[in-house]
A and B are shown apart, each in its own frame.
Chain A
Amino acid sequence: MTSKKQTISTWQLMMLLLPIILATEVLPVTDLSAKFAHQRAWLATMPATLTGVWSILVMIELAKRHPGRNLVQYSSDILGPWLGKLLGVVFMCQALIYTTKVSAEAMTFISMFALPRTPKHVVLGLFLFACAIATWAGIEVLARCAETLIPILIGFSLFVFVFLLPNMHPSFIRPILGPHWLETIFQASIVPSGWYGEFLLMGFLLPHIKDVHKVRRSILWLLVGLGAFVTLVALQSTMVAGPLIEKFIYSYYITARYISLGDFFERIDPLIISIWMYGMIIKTAVCLYVLSICVVYLCDLEDHRLVVIPVTLLTLLCAMWFFPNIAQLRNFLLYTFPFEGALVQNILPTCLLLVDKFKSAVKRPVHA
């Protein structure tokens, strides 16, 4: 690692986690949850945050027990070198899935709506180039980037919401109840829950926090804010597009491009693309950072900068290779990611925590 320990503040941590969840969730979340819950998609976002609570509590507890060490490091501490490294590899693969997923999403999004004729690898290359620069600069710079850009992103999204107010029909969210309403909501909440599991990345960010004991409250508030924001987004899409949301791809984007203010301020989707792209870039950069940290600790290297370029190239290849078309990507997000994510993001760290607790419980009587 870098010789100087880089630290970030709690606010910066929040601003880093915000795009991690939001950037990729907001665009597809409404249409994916609406596949099950239809007009109740906005209700499905709140139960999904429970996964986030679970993930947050586990990661913070682990970080408290192993201050200054990251997920890969303390997996080895807890499970011994071999099993620990194996778990580290699992987390590394998960990080690779993140980077691949996000960059593929960004790529399809951009090439579908903004640059249809530009070759995909150029779009992706440019995107990853920007990410790699931020990753190269380190977590501190990333955090500062996040706190500069994320407020803009949030503010812009709220503007979009306000501008869409004239086009909203509150009746579209009716009926709220109805046959099987509870089942559909819970079915639908499984989809976004995968994203909230991405708090797993805290395992790599918390070691940079000065005082881990103080962050839990802020992060939980962040989660509430995130849930509220996603609910707002889902409400917006539902009230504008009504029964169409489940049929659109990126319904948030489609509804946002529906904005029209006095024949002048309309068709602002390129603006939306570029502003949301900042969220995606920051998320990808953080994931790239985590991925390179994983590689660094698994291979006992010195500095994460050594592996940034290879890791970025790997992501480029994977994104081109895993998701040859958008249907594959959406299928992955809809059916694979929630379950795979639950395993790696929630169950594995929880097992890790349980083993750790068990070990310390066993150890203590020996000392006494």
Chain B
Amino acid sequence: MNLEQAENITTWIWFTGGAMRKIRKPKSLIPKAPIVEIEHPIVEPQSVETVFLSTDLAVNEAELRREFENCSDVVLRSITCTDSNGRAIHMLVVYVDGLVDSKQLDENVLEPLLLRQLPTKDLTPALWIRDFLSEHTLPIAQTDVLTEISQIVDSVLRGAAVILVDGDRAALAAALPGWERRGIEEPPSEPVIRGPREGFIETLRTNTAMIRRRIRSPRLKMIHMTIGDLTKTDVCVAYIEGIAQKTVVEEVKSRLQRIQIDAVIESAFLEEFIEDQPRSPFPQLQNTERPDIVCANLLEGKVAIFTDGTPFVLLAPAIFWGALNANEDYYQRTYMASFLRILRISFMMISLLFPSLYVSMTTFQQEMIPTSLLLSIAAAREATPFPAVIEALIMELIFEALREAGVRMPKQIGQAMSIVGALVIGQAAVEAGIISAPMVIVVSITGIASFTFPRYNVGVSIRLLRFPMLLLAGLFGIYGMAIGLFIIIVHLVALRSFGVPYFTPVGPTQFSSLKDVFVRVPRWAMQRRQDGTTGENSLRIPSGQSPGPNRGNGPPRKRLSRRRQGAT
């Protein structure tokens, strides 16, 4: 899809904007048990009672000018047209400069109004607006008839041109959004070798369109809501009806609706409000910039939460093992993918345990180290002044600092930075005898291991947990590590994401779902969706599609199909 098409679809915002109002009204009816009515609203209520439009354009204009006081980007343009009787009709066009496609405004709004003859204005005010302007005069796809000042303000801020007509109690909103946006490019945080190169951008509608274009089914539902008293950020909850669990969808919606916040800048703002266990170090929602990942997850029965203004889409419920699945696993051959999975799992363990293992093996359980290796380590450690734990802590902290510096620095300086850091740590510290060489090796292996996570945020939590493990290892050796690991596992297993146990399918063991955890079986063998996250429809691929010489002529292999039928 090219950009223009995407822009066309962005006009949908209007529709859903209207739907939003419908949703919002019954909000007060929803029992707000856990929420205490806020005593000090974040934003001053603009007007307690709704102000309807007056028939007098001057009054309306004054009202709008008052609302948009000191808003230099809001344009209120008065025009005068003539109807078929030659009578002058005063109109006011209100829009935000930059949010509205000015070319379209010129061609499709101002030109018909000013240059064409308008129908006689002798009907009741509302009807004239609706029947003639909207239906006969203006070639615009999305229009809406508004009657309240607050609605006008809202529409204008969403990128509409609102036309007020003298003598009418209604105004016409024409959706002409046309703000500048970034082009669609490959997301730098999740690159692939094989796979789609598209990434989400900051515009909600473009993003939802990318999904809709991939799943062309009316069962893909997208529910719109607005969150943030000031930002009025559009948020879209997408799921596939029949595949997603209804309870999860309802839970996501109700948790989102409960949020009371002034601004939503990034989807992380929402994430922190809707996760199950806010004190957990583990992220309970997945985020991604890639439409293919979102689609794959929607098809597994997950719910996607799009937020306007950020390319990061949240996916719920998330499970721990999902953090070790890269989207490319599904685009590669199964052996390679399975090998990479196992590699990632082992390196996850390394990233969590390796420094503490080194510390506990060199300071508690020296018997575990092969003799010749122990002699080398002992030789390397002869001159070092610090105990191994302290050494490990120092080195880990320096490594984290280097990494952080590398991320935040401008690219050119960042490289210099890492060179200096590598030299300081790797070379000078060892040669000066301050740090032992094996420790440098350990820290660098751990560093590499922590970058093997396809999902950055889970990698970060594992990296953080390394430090308590290091302390435990320094205190009790391998025994302490085992206790620490046990506590982590208890936590992981107790954790839930939107009601789904976080450690599924290992935690509560679901044997049928293990096919996609430690290994990735071929696509034709992944016949069912993952247990636990999906609703009633769990069949993905009818059985017997394994390629083979018997395929194509005759029925699929009998043995397989019979067993599958028995299973269903």
Contacts and interface: CB of A to CB of B under 8 A. Distances in A.
- Direct A–B contact in the complex, CB atoms closer than 8 angstroms: yes
Interface of A: 9, 11-12, 15, 110, 114-115, 118, 123, 126-127, 129-130, 133-134, 137, 141, 143-145, 147-149, 263-264, 266-271, 273-275, 277-278, 281
B367 A130 contact: no
A109 B255 CA distance: 49
A144 B508 contact: yes
Interface string B454-482: 00000000000000000000001111111
B494 A115 contact: no
A134 B360 CA distance: 24
B76 interface: no
A147 B507 contact: yes
11 contacts: A115-B476, A115-B477, A123-B476, A126-B479, A145-B489, A147-B506, A273-B482, A274-B482, A275-B482, A278-B486, A281-B486
Contacts of A123: 476, 479
Contact of B479 (A12, A143, A277): A277
B503 interface: yes
Interface string B357-371: 000100011011011
B341 to A, nearest CB: 17
Contact of A144 (B476, B478, B480, B503): B503
Given A115-B479, A148-B507, A274-B478, 20 more contacts: A11-B509, A12-B509, A114-B364, A114-B365, A114-B477, A114-B479, A127-B483, A130-B483, A130-B487, A133-B490, A147-B506, A147-B507, A148-B493, A267-B367, A269-B367, A274-B481, A275-B482, A277-B479, A277-B483, A278-B482
Given A144-B501, A148-B506, A268-B368, A134 B490 contact: yes
A110 B483 contact: no
Contacts of B368: 267-271
A312 to B, nearest CB: 14
Contacts of B365: 114, 270
A88 B370 CA distance: 53
Given A147-B509, A270-B368, A141 B482 contact: no
B244 to A, nearest CB: 24
Contacts of A148: 489, 493, 503, 506-507, 509
Contacts of A143: 508
Contacts, number: 95
Given A127-B483, A130-B483, A277-B482, A141 B494 contact: yes
Residue of B487, B501, B506, B508 contacting most chain A CB atoms (<10 Å): B508
A186 to B, nearest CB: 38
B508 A147 contact: yes
Given A134-B490, A145-B489, A270-B368, A126 B483 contact: yes
Interface in B350-385: 360, 364-365, 367-368, 370-371
Given A115-B476, A130-B487, A9 B508 contact: yes
Nearest to B486: A130
Contacts of B478: 114, 270-271, 273-274
A141 B489 CA distance: 10
A118 B501 CA distance: 37
B490 A264 contact: no
Nearest to A149: B489
B404 to A, nearest CB: 32
Nearest to A268: B368
